[in-house]
Amino acid sequence: MRTGLRIRDATAADSSGIARVHVDAWRSTYAGIVPQGVLAALSYAHREANWLRLLDALPSGHCVFVAENVGDRIVGFSHGGPLRAGPSTYAGELYAIYILDAYQRRGLGRALALQVVRRFLRQNVRSMLVWVLADNPARRFYEALGAQLVQTQKITIGGAPLDEVAYGWPDISRIEQGQHPAEDT
């Protein structure tokens, strides 16, 4: 990761900054994938209230990290916790990684994912899954981290049928060590 950025545990005071990144990243990432009406209806205030509720009483096993620039402005975040849906062979789930466009391709996504992985490992969680829209080009990021395609499912967002894919890491310690299956050959 390039200098000038730092990652730390999120607090309730970060809810506004996380909400801004969440909404802005959704609008840029999912333009042309998710119906425009859904993206236009996204609200900073609604997302902030949701993040404040979550961060005020973070459920057991959850972790949220923020990435800040030199001006202490939140430019990205990651969120992980216990598996919500998917094959029961996975224990943890990377719920979200969102980064503002101007800060992408700097190693920040990997650094945010590593924070979740390290927290999971300290909690004795050894495997992880992430769900991503199939048409999201950022899904290649997970492949580059060594994730394997595990499952696909149909979902509906704003009335539009979409494909969602699950990527899994049976052994997340390999992410921390920088080892990926393709490198083992």
pLDDT tens across 102-137, in order? 898 888 999 999 999 999 999 999 999 999 999 998
pLDDT in the model for residue 150: 92
Position 97 confidence tier, pLDDT thresholds 50, 70, 90? very high
Q: Is the pTM of this model over 0.85?
A: yes
Q: Give the chain's end-to-end CA distance (angstroms, integer).
A: 27
pLDDT tens across 36-56, in order? 999 999 999 999 999 999 999
Q: How far is CA 46 from the centre of its chain?
A: 19
On whether the CB atoms of residues 111 and 67 are closer than 8 A, the answer is yes
- Write down all domains in the chain, each with its CATH number in brackets: 6-125 (3.40.630.30)
